[in-house]
Structure 1
């Protein structure tokens, strides 16, 4: 865990002001908290350390990873430490415009996109002298945009399962910041089944994941499934019916959450089950 840069920002007002503008990592906004109460599904600690002018919030997690949550219900890890995240935030002004990129896109495409975004920023204010000053003061290396995009991509892929952000009151999950596909649960579970594993019911893989100690992977899959049902209850329609619902998936979800000791999610599933029975 490294937070050297964060400590320097807290100690030196000039550096904090540079981080806030033009790099939109504003320590003063930490006092405002996030737009809504949030927590990690895994139960890990969160420390609010900064915010941005669009209502987003930066959190340091228990292992030092830095999580960003925007004001529209998306969240993701952007660095394995505060120092790494600040490398990305400072080195890639407008970093949110790059979350769809991967190293597989190639150097030419990455550099072209970075040039496009940074030219747009320069139409309104400077970033080059400010970036050089802040990097030097914080002791950050002068990494290429290609390397920084690779670091951002790696960090984003770590968001699930351990850093899934929830609305604390309602229990629903935030979307991912990025569009990159994640492997299905069955790829992480060490078990072979005859035929197509994707055709197996989710319950098969949940049971195996829990039995193998992959609790957070199971929890994420269950929460995502419950959220899907909340958003679209037609997913419960019995085959061939336009009105009759099969509520057994909700009872199963409630039972699985109980098995994980996740009372809030179990109650969510049970409340929806009760409401739809009326």
Structure 2
């Protein structure tokens, strides 16, 4: 059976573990954005920074940040969960992508992973979620994230009609001493 939001939310323990990785399946009461060509977006969840996860009719998962950035981050709901489990800091990978450079994203992922490698709660959450869902590990979560964001064609707009920008940000880990040292 394919993994869907309904299948996942029926498993309370998995939902709790995902919340520890900053994904909540309690959508906002009122949408604060619109998506061109979609009358009523299906928000399936949010994160602690106020961003929203939306399941598109194509089954792609779109992320809308509270800071005016948006883009497709996964080709399916299952790929989204695999991404969150494999790389819970996926948004930081995009922040340090140097404008969408895959090699910089891989460097950022390695550095970010080094900063959490001894955090038992993250590793326990990963094991529990994968085990309870029978979820295979993602082959190349950073590559899949890059491909999804690079191919993103969803146009998201603020309530005033202004379009959101890409999720790729201009920073690299070289701009952050902690991450630069973790990568060394």
Coarse TM-score class (shorter-chain normalised) = 0.7 to 0.9
| RMSD of equivalent CA atoms | 2.6
Which residue, out of 149, 152, 163, partners 1:159? 152
TM-score (norm 1): 0.54
Q: Which residue of 1 aligns with 2:162?
A: 172
- Residue-pair matches, total: 167
Q: Give yes or no for contact 1:5–1:86 (8 Å, CA) kept in 2.
A: no
Between the aligned partners of 2:38 and 2:28, the Cα distance in structure 1 is 22
Q: Give yes or no for contact 1:19–1:26 (8 Å, CA) kept in 2.
A: yes
Does residue 25 (structure 1) correspond to residue 26 (structure 2)? The answer is: no
Q: Give yes or no for contact 1:5–1:138 (8 Å, CA) kept in 2.
A: no
Q: Which structure has the highest helix share of the two?
A: 1
Inter-CA distance 137–33: structure 2 relative to 1 (3 Å threshold)? farther
SS of structure 2 residue aligned to 1:53: coil
Inter-CA distance 74–125: structure 2 relative to 1 (3 Å threshold)? farther
Between the aligned partners of 1:59 and 1:3, the Cα distance in structure 2 is 18
Between the aligned partners of 1:123 and 1:154, the Cα distance in structure 2 is 29
Q: Give yes or no for contact 1:44–1:62 (8 Å, CA) kept in 2.
A: no
Inter-CA distance 33–88: structure 2 relative to 1 (3 Å threshold)? farther
Inter-CA distance 149–33: structure 2 relative to 1 (3 Å threshold)? farther
Q: Give yes or no for contact 2:73–2:149 (8 Å, CA) kept in 1.
A: yes
Q: Which of these two proteins has the greater Rg computed from alpha carbons?
A: 1
TM-score (norm 2): 0.78
Between the aligned partners of 2:2 and 2:23, the Cα distance in structure 1 is 14
Q: Which residue of 1 aligns with 2:5?
A: 6
Greater relative CO, 1 or 2 (CA 8 Å, sep 6+): 2
Inter-CA distance 179–128: structure 2 relative to 1 (3 Å threshold)? same
Between the aligned partners of 1:40 and 1:118, the Cα distance in structure 2 is 33
Between the aligned partners of 2:39 and 2:162, the Cα distance in structure 1 is 17
